Amino acid sequence: MNTPKRASPRHRSRLSRLAERADRPIFFVFGVVGLVALAVILFFVIREAVPVFRYVSASELLGPSWYPTSEPPFFGALPMIAATGLVTLGALLLAIPLGFASAGFVSEIAPPAFRDLAKSLLELLAAIPSVVYGFFGLTVVAPFVQRAFGLPTGQNALTASLILGLMALPTVASLAEDALTAVPKAHREASLALGASRWETTWRVVFPSAFSGLFGAAVLGMGRAVGETMAVLMVAGNSPVLTWSFLRPVRTLTAGIALEMAEAPYRSVHYHALFMLGAILLLITLATNGLAEWLRGRVARQGE
């Protein structure tokens, strides 16, 4: 056995010596950690969700009544799917115009020095925890909405949409700005040289050229709004009743899980049904991310 020579500069830890010989396979294992995490999430959420079909049929799962603790219980997720759609739509109606326009401001009008500042501030807006947005919505926006529309409660889909829109805004604005900045300068110069004004250039040349990237920004903003939990839980009112009105309390998929999981006994029908809501969310996420990824590929090809 070699005695370790501690004082020698040649001494290296055993781990390090191993790493030097087997570095490639070792780091390959680390490299796939993201994929493994994703696979583990898919596996466990689906594993806990699927047993719900032993008790509830697929058509009942998409039914209009959600009364998980009544006798007999009803597990129809439609009200929550609809509510998620409703508040996401509302959020995007706010976040897309504001996000695209502020991105246009930063990339086309503002001095370049403003770009870093704006990006940092948008990052800060994105960094504020969702429970804080929920708190702000509950104490400021909900009372305002209640008074403005003369409602019994300000906790409804509209308030949730406003807060969610604000939360999705930094994502949309920042990615849209990246897309606009990526449009080659030559496009703008060609348009201006033909006599178009700066606005005409922006609206008819830059925005259309950046279409894929802008669409991707909107899609990722949508993903953010669909998956948001705490803020919606605090301001949307949480009534699991099917409605298409923005002025009614609603319960989204995320809020439903957060609200009821603590009361659902382990591996009861209710527990499995809540995991099924999670699986639906996961499916929406995979779809939106797949779309965003495809659009990103298109943008990359355009750049070549």
Partner 1 sequence: MIPHRRSRTRRATEIVAFSLFGAAMAVALLALGIILYYILSRGSGAISWEFLTTFPRKGMTAGGIYPALVGSVYLTVGALVLALPLALGAAIFLVEYAREGPWVRVIRIGVNTLAGVPSIVFGLLGLALFVKALGIGVSVLAGSLTLGLLILPLLIRTAEEALRSVPRSFREGGLAVGATRWRTIRSIVLPAALPGILTGIVLGLSRAIGETAPIMFTAAAFFTPRLPTSPLDEVMALPYHIFVMATESPNAWKTKDLQYGAVLVLVGLVVVLNLGAILLRAHARRRKVW
Distance CA 187, CA 197 (A): 13
Among 157, 179, 206, 226, binds partner 1 (CB under 8 A): 226
Nearer to partner 1, 126 or 247 (CB): 126
Dihedral sign for Cα atoms in the order 125, 129, 134, 135: negative
Number of other residues whose CB lies within 10 A of the CB of residue 109 = 11
Distance CA 286, CA 224 (A): 12
Separation of first and last alpha carbons in the chain: 58
Q: For residue 282, state whether it binds partner 1 (rule: CB under 8 A).
A: yes
**Binding segment toward partner 1, per CB under 8 A, in 127-135, 178-186, 210-218, 242-250:** 127-135
Among 130, 153, 239, 243, binds partner 1 (CB under 8 A): 130
Yes or no: say if 88 and 225 are a contact pair by the CB < 8 Å rule: yes
Nearer to partner 1, 79 or 134 (CB): 134
Quick note: the x/- pattern for partner 1 over 171-210, rule CB under 8 A, is: --x-----------------x--xxxxxxx-xxx------
Of the candidates 229, 226, 222, the residue with the CA atom closest to the CA atom of residue 295? 222
Nearer to partner 1, 26 or 245 (CB): 26
Measured from the CB of residue 161, what is the shortest distance to partner 1 in angstroms? 14
The contacts of residue 257 (CB under 8 Å, 6+ apart) are 229, 274, 277, 278, 281
Q: Cα 207 from chain centroid?
A: 23
Quick one: DSSP state of residue 250? B
Binding to partner 1 (CB under 8 A) within 51-110 occurs at: 97-99, 101-102, 104-106, 108-110
Nearer to partner 1, 244 or 287 (CB): 287
Binding to partner 1 (CB under 8 A) within 246-265 occurs at: 254, 257-258, 261-262
Number of chain residues interacting with partner 1 (CB under 8 A): 96
Measured from the CB of residue 99, what is the shortest distance to partner 1 in angstroms? 8
Measured from the CB of residue 10, what is the shortest distance to partner 1 in angstroms? 12
